[in-house]
Amino acid sequence: MACVYFIGGALGSFLSGFISDKVLGGKRKPMILLGFACAIPFIIILATIKIGVPPFLLLLILSGTGFFSNMIWGPALSLPADLFSAEVYGKAIGFTNCCGYMLAAACPYIMGTLIVEDPVTHIVNYFWSWIYIAFVAFTGIIASLFLVDTRRIKLSIAK
């Protein structure tokens, strides 16, 4: 059951990269926005899911969450290649990943503080930790609205 998220993620990452390159002509922004926007409902479903969900439904939720949340990887990792020359690409992607991983390192601590246990029933509630992840995805939408498809700009300059 745990690998379903990653199988969906691999498919989403591959498909979004393919669509970004072959169908959209190198435009990264639409796939990034689509990934974030479609991941949020699945994350909210994870936040509200109850014990006893049928396995088929759980497989659908996990694969959908993995698919859409990983759609962002291919186009987002291609952005520095579109923005920077080959001489500085390594530094640019390294800096980008460094910032991303430093911010991501805080997420388990924040999520941990948002997980609460009912003192009477001892039932653990993950709702607010998942809502936090949905909020992070929403901030991804806001941030990606500021992206510029540089490949389109470079092509129009070359003409």
What are the residue ranges spanned by the domains of the chain?
A: 3-158
Q: 71 pLDDT band (50/70/90 cuts)?
A: very high
Q: Which of 142, 146, 158, 157 is nearest to 36 (CA)?
A: 142
Q: What is the pTM (predicted TM-score) of this model? A: 0.82
Q: What is the pLDDT of residues 99-151, one digit of tens each?
A: 889 988 999 999 999 999 888 888 888 999 999 999 999 999 999 998 887 65
CATH architecture for the domain at 3-158: Up-down Bundle (1.20)
* Tokens, residue 58: 């759980």
CB 11 within 8 A of CB 73: no
pLDDT band (50, 70, 90) for residue 155: very low
- Tokens 């949020």 -> residue: 40
Q: Taking each helix axis from N to C terminus, what angle separates 73-83 and 150-158, rounded to the nearest 10 degrees?
A: 40
Q: What pLDDT sits at residue 114?
A: 94
